[in-house]
Amino acid sequence: MRIQSPRGTSDVLGDAALAREQLEGTARGILERAGYSRIETPSFESTELFARGVGEATDVVQKEMYTFDDGGGNSITLRPEGTAPVCRAYLEHGMHKLPQPVKLWYHGAYFRSERPQHGRYRQFWQVGLEAIGSDDPAVDAESVLLLAEILEAIGVQARLRISSLGTPDTRAEYKHELQDYLRAHEHELSGEVRGRIDLNPLRAFDADHPGTRQVMAAAPLLLDRLNADDREHFETVKRLLDGAGLAYEIDPTLVRGLDYYTRTVFEFTSDALGAQSGVGGGGRYDGLIEELGGPPTPGMGWAAGVERMLLAAPPAPTAPPPLDLYVAHAKPEYKDPAFKLAADARRAGHSAQLELGGRSVKGVFKQADRAGARYVAILGADGTTLRDMESGEQRVVDSDTVMHHITHGL
């Protein structure tokens, strides 16, 4: 049996590879103009980082991590998300000594052992940012705006929902209130939601089960329980987004899959995507750095799925890069000078490809045409035959003058 790529992974070829490069370039331009600099963290980390950072009770940590022993008794996990690793790096490199906030962006592969479906993979790519060290609501609004700008630039039409989760204390109190409410309605809930009342009652808002949905329609909302500071923070975020002309909906039931969020949370969804409609999202995580053993440090970030963005806004096919010269030899003894000519042409800054398929002269022209070559050089006993593929003009030239001709014409 032939070996295939593992389930939920795929190869990136041709136009798809170009589209990804373009997307990365668009994101880089927008984020670097706003003062974000690039960070790359390893593809795997200590399992404990995600257990502590993402939260033991989350689906990601409970079911979706690729975890293995590194052979030396250390538990390692392929990164399922980027925020905890960036916070780990912030602490490890003493970035609290830099002017705050530290603004970082990234683009890389992430791994979750989920059931694959359209838009959901086991290895997927994310572009993301983290702004660590400021609790200014302008950080929240600006980062949301930057993702909106990226989505607009690549042509993704997305709906923005925002909410606030408050601070851990408010959340803990609210959690008890919600648990009491859920227990009072236990018999109407789905088995799964009932089983999670103790561990993660907020997830009940995510349920599709009709009985659960009915119960949740009348459930108390965290947004109505925020303390004065959190309410003011949220009001400022909304005011800044209004001022920037960015449309959003307030969704008091917005829960994100990861435990570390505080205050602002948001998500962009696209109707073009079907069931897996989340294009990107994130929020504030003012307790995460402390959870990882650092000093109390506020932070805000998001991540957006590269595959999902490209599914939501399929890019137009791009033209192949221009090819200045296609080089072949007519006889075996001209193999070496042909090889050298292609290499010299590239060193001189031209794009040049060498005939590597052993084609006949007719085949060479056909292949050069397919590759979009402007000039074809065939080295033989009479000298170098140079053809301008645009005009069809062909001449035998001195091999030393090929470079001159492909710059200045035949």
Q: Which is nearer to ligand AMP, 275 or 381 (CB)?
A: 275
Q: Taking the C-alpha atoms of 105, 120, 79 and 9 in order, what is their torsion angle to the nearest 10 degrees?
A: -110
Total residues contacting ligand AMP by CB under 6 A comes to 18
Contacts (CB under 6 A) with ligand AMP, residues 64-103: 81
E strand segments, 251-298: 262-269, 278-284
Q: Which is nearer to ligand AMP, 120 or 194 (CB)?
A: 120
**Sign of the torsion formed by the C-alpha atoms of 25, 31, 33 and 36:** negative
Q: Does 120 bind ligand AMP (CB under 6 A)?
A: yes
Q: Which residue is nearest to ligand AMP (CB)?
A: 305
Q: Does 324 bind ligand AMP (CB under 6 A)?
A: no
Cis ω for the linkage preceding 116 (within 30 of 0):
no
Nearest to 101 by CA among 318, 301, 319: 301
Q: Provide the phi-psi class of 364: left if phi over 0, else alpha when psi is between -120 and 50, else beta.
A: alpha
Q: Which is nearer to ligand AMP, 83 or 367 (CB)?
A: 83
Q: Does 55 bind ligand AMP (CB under 6 A)?
A: no
Applying CB under 6 A, which of residues 279, 289, 312, 406 lies at the interface with ligand AMP? Answer: 279
Applying CB under 6 A, which of residues 24, 59, 114, 152 lies at the interface with ligand AMP? Answer: 114
Distance CA 271, CA 281 (A): 15
Q: Does 251 bind ligand AMP (CB under 6 A)?
A: no
Distance (Å) of CA 356 to CA 329, 335, 368: 10, 10, 12
Q: Does 283 bind ligand AMP (CB under 6 A)?
A: no
Q: Which is nearer to ligand AMP, 5 or 391 (CB)?
A: 5
Contacts (CB under 6 A) with ligand AMP, residues 208-247: none
Q: Does 310 bind ligand AMP (CB under 6 A)?
A: no
What DSSP string describes 69-87?
A: E-SSS-EEEE-S-SHHHHH
Q: Which is nearer to ligand AMP, 53 or 305 (CB)?
A: 305
User: CA-based diameter of the chain, in Å?
Assistant: 95
Chain residues that interact with ligand AMP, rule: CB under 6 A: 81, 112, 114, 120-121, 124, 126, 256-257, 278-281, 303-305, 307-308
